[in-house]
Every structure is written in C-alpha cells, then in structure tokens.
Structure 1
Amino acid sequence: MFSFQQILAQIESEIHRLQLDYPPKSLYDPIEYILSLGGKRIRPALALMAYNMYQEDLTPAMQPALGIEVFHNFTLLHDDLMDEADKRRHKPTVHKLWNPNVAILSGDAMLIVAYRLMGETQAPYLKEVLDLFTQTALEICGGQQYDMEFESRMDVTEEEYLEMIRLKTAVLLACSLKTGALLGGASPEDADHLYAFGINIGLAFQLQDDLLDVYGDTETFGKNIGGDILCNKKTFLLINALKRASESQRETLMEWIGKTDYDPLEKIAIFTFIYNELKLEQLVKAKMQDYYQAALAHLEALQVAPERLEELKSVCNQLLYRQS
C-alpha cells in the first residue's frame, strides 16, 4: 500500500500535469491559480486511499480523484465570492485578484473540467460513479442554500445546522471514499461503510473548522480568525450559545448581532468570552468525539485486513486535530 504522503505526492504531480491551455488562456488562469495554492488535497487522497485498500495500481482511479479535487476547489472559488472573503490559503481570493465576473465564469469552467475528469472513469463503473458525483454536487448546492438562508434566521436549530454541514462538507468526503471503493471493486457493503465513515468524519471535520475560526491562529489557519463571528454565521458555537446563554449573555449577543457599526476585534473578543463562559469549546470537542467513534465503527466493519486501515485512521486523526 502507498502511504498518505506518497499519495499526496502523486496527486500534486498529476495536478501540475493537467492540461488547461485551451483558448482563451485567461479563462483558465484563475483555475491554475486556485489549484496552485495547494491545500490538504484530502478529498482526492481519500479516494485513492479507499481504492488502494482493494487495488495496488492507482492509475485507474487518478483522473476521477482529480475531478473531485477540481470540483472541491470550484466550490471554494464560488464560496469565497459569496462570502466576500479576502484570503484563501494565505493568498488573495480569485474575485479579489481578478473580479467577481471572472470568478463566476472560471468557476463554471472548473465544474465542467471536473466532470470531464470524472468521465475518465473506467466503463464498468462510470454510471455509478457519475450518479454518485452528480448527487453529491446537488447536495452541496443544497447545503450552500441552507447556509445562505440561515444568515437571515435566528431560530436555526442544532439539528438543522448539522444537516447543513452534512450536505455542504461531509458528503464530498463520503463521495471521495465511496468513489475509490467502487473503482477498487469493493463490495456494496464496504462501499456503504466507507461512505458512512466519510459522513461522520466530515461532520467532525467541519466542527473542528468552527472551532478554528474562533480559537485558531490566522498564520496557520490561512483565514482571518473570527470571520464567522463578524458575519453572524450560524455555527454550532453560536447556535448553542444562543440556546444556553443566560438572559444577560443573550442580550449581549443579540445586541452585537444587530450592530452594523462596530470594532471587529471587540466583537470577536466579546463573543469568544461568552463562548468560554458557556464552555462551548468542550461541547464541540465532545460532539466531534461522538462522530469520530461512529466513523471508526464503520471502518472496523470493512471486510479488509486491519493493517490496511491504519493509514486512513492516522490521516483522520490528523484532520480532527489539525490547526489549519
């Protein structure tokens, strides 16, 4: 089996070899830019790791894995535009470096490039893989729609939030793993267990992201700390803060949520202080641990030799205790 680092090296090599030189070149410059920013490459890596549990030669799974990575970066490009984000992986976002129209059009082209790469799937698996990918893409759009709708609601429940992040984040991790399993010839049961594993890891992954937005370091996180607080994003932390707050704490939160003219650092400090009073960091970490244990149960149900699971377990530990 390949190690995680060996798989990442192969992915980076293949990304550099992608042919994006059709005219007009200006359409593809932003695509090359966002792909060049790096990132964890965790989604294509998960696809190849799942495939590698059943097959040794990664070549048949590489193009679909790259398709998943291109699609993921497409979603980031458009998310940054919708969120009016200035930074992505320490660098200016596409709509800041170029303009919003460029971000929209090049993002659309990225989606088409992703489908072209997914179309390189070997014939016996093509329909099932494309159906899974298409369903996942639609679910991610649904998750983004929920996320936008939550911006204008103050009654978002914990259950609604978890469903939103399942759609927006977890399903693509699950799709990556199941795609690799399908291409590797796994049994339907194993493919479903890997999908469920991905859902649970994805939920824990996003909760860690919520924590990092408040408690991370901007130098390692790659984004400005407190961004979710400043735009009143209904995260697991804010939802539980509003649910668990005392009357005075809730009044303070609502007052700052309603402000349009304020010192950003002061708002972040006040929210963080209340989150600390309510011990929300510990609450989030306990929820993450629940998802992690559920994920491991699905991993252990696979009809695969235990030693072939160790690398995937190690990677998931890195994901859940990351600082960026």
Structure 2
Amino acid sequence: MTEKSHAHALLGKLEDYIRNEFPVDAGIGKSPRELYEPITYILGLDGKRIRPLLSLLAYGIYKPNPESILSQAAAIEVFHNFTLMHDDIMDNAPLRRGKKAVHMKWNNNVAILSGDVMLVKAYDLLLPTASDKLGEVIRLFNKTASEVCEGQQFDMNFESLESVHEEEYLNMIRLKTAVLLGFSLQLGALLAGAEKSDAQKLYDFGVNIGVGFQLKDDLLDVFADQEKFGKQVGGDIISNKKTFLLIKAMELAKGEDAEALNYWLSLTEFDKEEKVKAVHKIYEKLGIKAFTEAKMNSYFEAGFAQYEAIHYKNKDYFHELKKITQDLIHREK
C-alpha cells in the first residue's frame, strides 16, 4: 500500500457509511421532513472529516480493520457538525463552508431542533462499542462534549470583555477546538485495545496539535497570501476578534502604538481595507507574527514529542497519521 492509501480508502468508506446513515432522501419515510433534511444537508457540505479519520487511523496503529469502528468515527463527525449548526445560530453566521448555514436555509428553530437530533444520533452511533468499553467511551465523550460547550461560552464571554489574557484565550481554544481532536485519537486507540498510557499520549498529542492549529488559523487570517487563503485576509481584524495576535498586541503596544491600536478598535464605522492595513502595520512593528509562530510551534513540538513516545504496532498507520498531521500544519489556507 502507498503511504496515502490508508486514509484515502478509509475516507471513502466513511463517506459511504455517513451517506447510508443519512441518505439524501432522509425525509422519505421519516417525518417531519424538515427535521431530517438539514442533517443530511450539513453533513454533505464538503467537510474534511479530519476528526473521524484520526479515530480510524489511531485504531489502525494498534489493530487491523479500522473499518470496524466506522460507526463510532461517524459519531464524532455528527457531533462536530451538531456543534457547528448551533454555533452558526449563536454567531449569526450566514455561511458554512461556502453554502447557506442551516438556520439561514431554514430558520433558527429548525436548526436548533435538527441539531438536537444530531446529538442524540451521535450517542446512537457509539452504541456498537463492546460492552466492556462502552461506559468509558460514553464518559469520555460526555466530558469532551461539555468542554466544547464551555469553550464556546468562554468565546462568547470574550466578546464583551475589554481585555482577555493570553492563558484565558489558550484555554478557550483548547476547550472549543482541541479537546475534540484529542478525544478522536483517544477513542480510536481505546477501541483498538491500546494501553491507556498510549491512549492518553494520543489525546495529549491531539490537544496540543489542536491548539497549534487554531493559532495557525489566527496567523493565516492576518498574514496569509490572499490568493491561497480562499477568503478575506484580515477578517479577525475587521471584527475586533480577540485572537492570540490581538491579545499579544494589546499586551505589548505602548505609547503611539497603543493609541493607534485602541483607536482602530474603538471605531464602529471605518474603511475595512484601511483598518486591516493599519493594524497589520502595528502587528509587524511589534513582531506579533514571530510571537505567534513561536507559541504555535511550542504546541506542535510538545504534541509530536508525545506522539513519538507511543508504542505502535503498525508502522504504516503510525507514519501516515503523522504525515497527515504535518500536512495540516504546513497548510496555507
């Protein structure tokens, strides 16, 4: 097998599994149709399926036939999309992956209720787990789900705060984004019968990589090549989003830099391009890109140190999971 064939084959099987569980004609035979069509819709919006793929590959590191846990892997994808459906309502986001968000295509009430069904379905998809592992899987899933909600609440709280400390922000992205990546890896290892110490290392690897991924997103939003990025560079600057870059700039800016930054943050009406250029210039002067890269790389390095310490049984899956993660780290969009 070639290096990429495991992931390619597993993604194909995962897509087939999700389509069978949530067919396009989901409303036929299931009523009311409005409850089920949004679920099929959001699951069909070209998601990368990174989280369930991590579960499948982590399983393959320890045991053959990761296809045997397609149901549990799909549970993670369904839960992830449930959170996105509800997040879009809270953020009043018009688009999801370039298409209308569910609450815009239908309405808020439909999106809330369909999301509720998705959460129930995620539990249903975990049920094929062996009885001796099911209790622990549900416990860890519940812990992760609660933490994701905690992260979302912290993120919303930050919108009304004048300042957010670096550690508060890092904890928020750990909860909102990273713990689900960690659980995805941990789940695959546990289902494969890996030692709990290895499953914990994989969890810690996922969490550290997840925090690094979000810092990478923060960085790309400001410093990406517009042609490669695929969306407007500087969106976080325009919205005054409290990313690591802004938090660090507010900490470091003194004198005229602080005055200029506060000026742009205080405006309710402004030229978007002018604001992006002005704040970008402040970031460059303060060396914010280098600070962010250093913090991001510290998480990546910690994560890979944990990954290299696991006791794998299948080196092909071990190396492929590592390569997929490295490719995500080096992305430019």
TM tier, shorter chain?
Answer: over 0.9
The one-letter amino acid of 2:332's match is Q
Determine if the alignment matches structure 1 residue 59 to structure 2 residue 62.
no
The one-letter amino acid of 2:7's match is F
TM-score (norm 2): 0.91
Alignment CA distance shift 1:111-1:189 (3 Å): same
Determine if the alignment matches structure 1 residue 48 to structure 2 residue 56.
yes
Deviation sequence 1:168-214 (CA, Å, 0-9, x none): 01100000000000000000111111011111111111111112222
* Aligned mates of 2:104, 2:40 — CA distance in 1: 16
* Aligned mates of 1:220, 1:4 — CA distance in 2: 24
Alignment CA distance shift 1:100-1:223 (3 Å): farther
Determine if the alignment matches structure 1 residue 202 to structure 2 residue 206.
no
Deviation sequence 1:263-320 (CA, Å, 0-9, x none): 2332222222222222222221222211111111111111115554211110111111
Map residues 156-175 of structure 1 onto 2, 5 A cutoff: 156-175=164-183
Of stretches 220-229 and 126-135 in structure 1, the one that deviates more from structure 2 is 220-229
Question: 2:326 aligned to 314, 317, 320, which one?
Answer: 317
Map residues 95-110 of structure 1 onto 2, 5 A cutoff: 95-110=103-118
Contact 2:10 2:67 in 1 (8 A): no
Report what 1:236 is aligned to: 244
Question: 1:287 aligned to 251, 276, 295, which one?
Answer: 295
Contact 1:170 1:199 in 2 (8 A): yes
Question: 1:93 aligned to 81, 92, 101, which one?
Answer: 101
Report what 1:7 is aligned to: 10
* Aligned mates of 2:16, 2:202 — CA distance in 1: 26
1:34 Cα offset (Å)? 1.1
Determine if the alignment matches structure 1 residue 74 to structure 2 residue 82.
yes
Alignment CA distance shift 1:222-1:65 (3 Å): farther
Contact 1:89 1:222 in 2 (8 A): no
Deviation sequence 1:54-106 (CA, Å, 0-9, x none): 11112331111101001111111122222222222122222222222222222
Deviation sequence 1:1-33 (CA, Å, 0-9, x none): 862222222211211111444211111111111
Equivalent residue of 1:233, what SS?
coil
* Aligned mates of 2:147, 2:176 — CA distance in 1: 7
Determine if the alignment matches structure 1 residue 185 to structure 2 residue 193.
yes
Map residues 117-132 of structure 1 onto 2, 5 A cutoff: 117-132=125-140
1:125 Cα offset (Å)? 1.2
Equivalent residue of 2:112, what SS?
helix
Contact 1:119 1:130 in 2 (8 A): no
Determine if the alignment matches structure 1 residue 301 to structure 2 residue 309.
yes
Contact 2:147 2:179 in 1 (8 A): yes
Of stretches 220-229 and 184-193 in structure 1, the one that deviates more from structure 2 is 220-229
Deviation sequence 1:26-58 (CA, Å, 0-9, x none): 111111111111121100000111011111112
Structure 2 unaligned spans of 5+: none
Of stretches 77-86 and 138-147 in structure 1, the one that deviates more from structure 2 is 77-86
Structure 1 unaligned spans of 5+: none
The one-letter amino acid of 2:37's match is D
The one-letter amino acid of 1:196's match is D
TM-score (norm 1): 0.94
Report what 1:274 is aligned to: 282
Determine if the alignment matches structure 1 residue 33 to structure 2 residue 73.
no
1:249 Cα offset (Å)? 1.8
Report what 1:249 is aligned to: 257
* Aligned mates of 2:158, 2:105 — CA distance in 1: 29
Alignment CA distance shift 1:218-1:126 (3 Å): farther
Deviation sequence 1:139-177 (CA, Å, 0-9, x none): 000011111111111231111111111100110000000
Among the aligned pairs, what percent are the same residue?
Answer: 50
Number of equivalent positions: 324
* Aligned mates of 1:100, 1:215 — CA distance in 2: 34
Deviation sequence 1:117-149 (CA, Å, 0-9, x none): 122322221111111011000000001111111
The one-letter amino acid of 2:18's match is I
